[in-house]
């Protein structure tokens, strides 16, 4: 007869050794209970079970039996089938949340085991990664905010591809973002506007070294006169808001926002798929109304210091005047300026003394309007679609396409032969050499 094999743990071995000492009279029941952290009544019950069942008496009565709380095989198959139908590419955590909303309650680890056994989900392979030193979070909300964009098929095949321009606070992981069609300077300004309007001006902005944030061009004359470094349009607006810029030298350095994009590409894409969103406007509404509040409720953490580090906007700081694209131009004699291949003019009531041939700043604001700044005043500009070319500040009118006279049509010339009595046919050279007098009548 084959002997029964029992797997013992350290806890059962300790209990059996103490109970044998009690049986041999080396320990009292009170001392055994203090050593095993059990009551005297439990010690007596264990001794009785050992006398009846032998050493097996110290094992739990449910050892080798199925738990009374185990899910039935039918329920497990139903859950796995539902995951295959609708949540095949979901992770166990997100799939558990969606199943719970449908009334199928199961723990995350149980669902992870079922999905792994069914081949629906596989854990990420552990790859060798470069070693990076861990950095602690900033201590206060608004002390450091990371900003980046992620191009991705956010709407999958239902809508156009786009970019998610997002910002995340380093101390609390609170977020803000917008879906845009193109990752441009103005779209990043609009995202920064949304953050500043909600929370205020952060102390520092942490970005990569994209050409939108830093430039390698030489310092221009206006910047030299103002003792300023060469900046991009976004960098100038950030400096006017008084926000410090910190550059990230690697993607791992801004890992917090990179991990946010990884989570959003997993959860947000599937949430919008379930909601049937197929436009960028709808995605922005879903992001603002649903995803951001749920993210901050679930993933945001309290800062070490409760004081908010954001700075409020001053009376002289207006976002519409700071977050814009700006350029320097010279006003011509007809009070127009040229920018981006178009001419822009002033209203008659806006024209004042000293404006002609003055060096001014023109800007395009985020609402699409164009303005001219002269001596601290903002004057509205309007496009001049059919305006003639104006006189340059030097007083000379540059030649334009309309100044060139059209060339006459080219015609083929015919060869002309003089008549026989034409003077060209007379040999004057021969006449003068022989000393003969030419006939004047032939010249008439």
Whole-number pLDDT of residue 100: 92
Distance of CA 431 to the CA centre of its chain: 97
Distance of CA 147 to the CA centre of its chain: 7
Whole-number pLDDT of residue 279: 94
pLDDT 10s per residue in the chain (444 long)?
Answer: 445 566 677 878 888 888 888 888 888 888 888 888 889 898 888 888 888 888 777 777 666 667 777 888 899 999 999 999 999 889 899 999 999 999 999 999 999 999 988 888 887 664 455 556 677 899 999 999 999 999 999 999 999 999 999 999 999 999 999 999 999 999 999 999 999 999 999 999 999 988 888 888 888 777 777 777 888 989 989 998 999 999 988 878 888 999 999 999 999 999 999 999 999 999 999 999 999 999 999 999 999 999 999 999 888 888 888 898 888 888 888 888 888 888 888 888 788 787 888 888 888 888 888 888 888 788 888 888 765 555 444 444 444 444 555 566 656 666 777 777 777 666 555 454 555 555 555 544
CATH topology of domain 145-298: Nucleotidyltransferase; domain 5 (3.30.420)
Provide the terminal-to-terminal Cα distance of the chain, rounded to the nearest Å: 154
The structure tokens 């602690």 sit at 136
* Cα–Cα distance, 33 to 35 (Å, whole number): 5
* Cα–Cα distance, 323 to 176 (Å, whole number): 17
Whole-number pLDDT of residue 280: 95
Judge if pTM exceeds 0.85. no
Domain boundaries, the chain: 10-58, 73-118, 145-298, 323-399
* Model confidence pLDDT, tens digit, residues 172-227: 999 999 999 999 999 999 999 999 999 999 999 999 988 888 888 888 777 777 77
| Contact partners, residue 58, CB within 8 Å, separation at least 6 | 12, 15, 16, 19, 46, 49, 50
Q: What is the 3-state secondary structure (H, E, C) of 334-352?
A: CCEEEECCEEEEECHHHCC
For residues 180 and 173, the answer to whether their CB atoms sit within 8 Å is: no
């Amino acid at each position: 007869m084959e002997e029964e094999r029992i797997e013992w743990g350290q806890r059962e071995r300790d209990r059996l050794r103490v109970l044998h000492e009690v049986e041999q009279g080396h320990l009292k029941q009170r001392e055994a209970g203090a050593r095993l952290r059990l009551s005297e009544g439990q010690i007596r019950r264990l001794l009785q079970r050992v006398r009846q069942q032998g050493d097996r008496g110290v094992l739990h009565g449910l050892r080798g039996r199925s738990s009374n709380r185990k899910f039935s095989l039918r329920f497990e198959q139903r859950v796995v089938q539902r995951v295959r139908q609708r949540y095949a590419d979901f992770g166990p955590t997100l799939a558990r949340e969606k199943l719970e909303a449908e009334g199928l309650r199961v723990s995350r680890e149980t669902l992870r085991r079922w999905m792994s056994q069914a081949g629906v989900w596989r854990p990420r392979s552990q790859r060798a990664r470069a070693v990076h030193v861990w950095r602690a979070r900033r201590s206060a909300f608004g002390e450091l905010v990371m900003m980046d964009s992620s191009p991705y098929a956010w709407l999958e095949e239902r809508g156009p591809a786009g970019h998610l321009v997002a910002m995340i606070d380093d101390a609390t992981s609170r977020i803000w973002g917008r879906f845009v069609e193109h990752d441009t300077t103005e779209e990043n300004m609009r995202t920064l506007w949304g953050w500043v309007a909600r929370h205020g001006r952060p102390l520092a902005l942490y970005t990569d070294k994209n050409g939108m944030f830093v430039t390698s061009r030489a310092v221009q004359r206006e910047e030299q006169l103002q003792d300023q470094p060469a900046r991009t349009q976004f960098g100038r607006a950030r400096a006017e808001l008084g926000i410090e810029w910190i550059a990230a030298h690697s993607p791992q350095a801004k890992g917090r926002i990179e991990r946010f994009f990884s989570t959003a590409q997993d959860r947000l894409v599937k949430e919008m798929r379930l909601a049937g969103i197929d436009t960028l406007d709808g995605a922005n509404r879903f992001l603002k109304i649903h995803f951001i509040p749920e993210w901050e409720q679930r993933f945001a953490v309290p800062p070490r210091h409760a004081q908010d580090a954001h700075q409020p906007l001053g009376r002289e700081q207006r976002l519409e005047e700071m977050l814009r694209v700006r350029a320097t131009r010279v006003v011509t004699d007809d009070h127009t300026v040229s920018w981006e291949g178009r001419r822009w003019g002033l209203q008659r009531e806006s024209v004042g003394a000293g404006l002609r041939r003055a060096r001014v700043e023109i800007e395009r604001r985020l609402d699409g309007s164009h303005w001219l700044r002269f001596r601290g005043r903002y004057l509205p500009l309007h496009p001049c679609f059919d305006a003639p070319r104006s006189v340059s500040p030097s007083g000379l009118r540059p030649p334009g396409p309309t100044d060139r006279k059209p060339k006459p049509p080219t015609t083929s010339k015919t060869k002309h032969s003089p008549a026989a009595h034409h003077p060209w046919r007379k040999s004057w050279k021969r006449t003068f050499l022989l000393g003969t007098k030419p006939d004047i009548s032939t010249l008439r």
